[in-house]
Amino acid sequence: MTIHHHPGEALVLAHAAGSLDPAMALIVATHLHFCAQCRADAVLALAVGSTLLEQMQPALLTADALTRTLARLDTPETPSPTLVSNDNTPLPLRAFMGHDLSAVRWRLMGQRLGYATLYRRGGLTLRLLRGSPGTDVGAHTHRGEEYTLVLKGGYRDETGTYGPGDFQSMHNPIADPGEDCINLAVTIGGLRFRGAGRNLVAKLFGF
């Protein structure tokens, strides 16, 4: 699989440093599942970070640090869901949802477009989006930022074509012919569609 569109160095480095919001961390980690090039960049960033940590002066621990650490070790962990996928759902996404994409309960917006909200905090939302072949989401602008990762199928817009593993920010997609296009999307702020009707529908569905 050839990946043509990537998150960019800053996002990969931020992911490696553990400084991303959970939604952004998930979309970047899921891209890394597809992309060997970005995985190598993340490994390199971790190696550089480890070297920098080794060069830092040690800090004094509080008197109860050992007691608190041991207490955390004694706390039982919630068993993780099985991570074996039946439909090739990327591991980071399956671990987050606890099930495959085939088990997602889609909320429909008309006959050709569905979505499932996975995470919301303030103006930031993490969603799965599914469009039937040929679906035109509609031209829109953004009040904040938008990031999209293709999971299955593909789409095209004025910037090019996007397939599984491709990462994009700010787009107006039309789903490719063939199978349904399923995307993982992070939006920060709402969307503004061209046309009062689409804007009203978007608000009703939390977009």
The secondary structure of 70-117 as a DSSP string is HHHHHSPPPPPPP---SS---HHHHHHHSS-GGG--PEEETTTEEEEE
- Give the tens place of pLDDT for each residue, 181-203: 999 999 886 655 554 445 444 44
CB contact at 8 A, 16 and 45 = yes
Residue ranges and CATH numbers for the domains of the chain are 105-204 (2.60.120.10)
Q: How many residues does the chain have?
A: 207
Entry pTM: 0.76
- Give the tens place of pLDDT for each residue, 132-175: 998 776 555 556 688 999 999 999 888 899 999 999 986 667 88
In the chain, DSSP finds a helix count (H) and a strand count (E) of 6, 11
178: left (phi over 0), alpha (psi -120 to 50) or beta: left
- Please enumerate, as own/partner, the contacts of 77-83 that have beta carbons within 8 Å and a separation of 24 or more: none
Tell whether the model's pLDDT for residue 78 goes beyond 70.
no
- Give the tens place of pLDDT for each residue, 85-122: 889 999 999 999 999 999 999 998 878 889 999 999 98
Dihedral (C-alpha) 100, 163, 118, 206: value to the nearest 10 degrees? -140
- Label residue 105 exposed, middle or buried (CB < 10 Å: 0-12, 13-18, 19+): exposed
